[in-house]
Structure 1
């Protein structure tokens, strides 16, 4: 083997380890780069997972809050329903109590009426007194006397003897009657129309010549066309 061949063999022997080291270094560098890329991807995945977890927690909290709100609203609705039912029962109880009270009062009034004294059919209370002027029903006699004198005087001028006497008598009688009638139309009297509200119901009217001793509100007993005050 020549020296040149030996030199070449030595050079090759030196270069082979170098190439091997270079290849190994490149392989380690690629692995490091791959590991770095995987780490970055893992970090991204972790961030995404944390974000998803936060969103899930937020959604869970919102869902829980919605459920709690719904449950609270349901309780409010039930409370309002219970309140309405209680109010209705209270109203019904009040109406029943008022009805019982009215019924008791009615029964008490009926019992009191049945136990009270009989109503006086002729008794009542004066509700009004109205003064009224009208012609006198009876003459005082003055008109009759004056008419008789005048009629007699006129009769005395008629006829002679017995006829004259008859004429005087007829004139006197006629004059007296005419004078009495005339006096009734001329002379006015005041009477009082009195209305009485009867205890038994209705109204009775009585006409009196005097209203002394009575007034509106006086308790009286109606006796025919007269009134007797009750004491």
Structure 2
């Protein structure tokens, strides 16, 4: 994980240390040594989640507290890689983003949210899902193939049998990240708070919800309202 694009770490030496991005910020105050080490690593290319305890030392619990706040505030991004090859980079789209860490259960069948869709942006295939306020850049065709396998409820153990070409440990981390952010969801009328039982979601068609969120300022960080992005290039409408 690392600081999200456009996010910076400021005043690290002072009592007013903060993480700042477009339209959002997190005041850290005076940093404990271990927390400072972790956030320095975030700003200097990133740190593996498994490396946080060693980097933070006795301040590990405090470091995770601040990391969770920064993540839920849309200030971090997460990358899954295998042997140095990028597979996927997940980036929050707004401060409304929420990652439900430690909720992944490998024994629960998961499938893609019915609101999830792929598109092309900046030369990458992008997995987008308006309900989670985040996008995932797909760097490897194996991940795109994995999405096909997740079109219906599937166990992690079953995915390992599909010969995805992704190592088991890496596959688990990839599925865990998608599940904890809500791009992969449990399905069924017997599952509490599933897309099939939540009235607030059942009433929406995917394209309607996408337009609804993109036309309001809080669900994303792109311009909204009376804007015309072709000003100076095409005649005004």
TM bin, normalised by shorter chain, reads under 0.3
Higher share in strand: 2
Greater C-alpha radius of gyration = 1
TM-score, structure 2 as length reference: 0.16
TM-score by length of 1: 0.17
Which structure exhibits the higher relative contact order, with contacts defined as CA atoms closer than 8 Å and separated by 6 or more residues?
A: 1
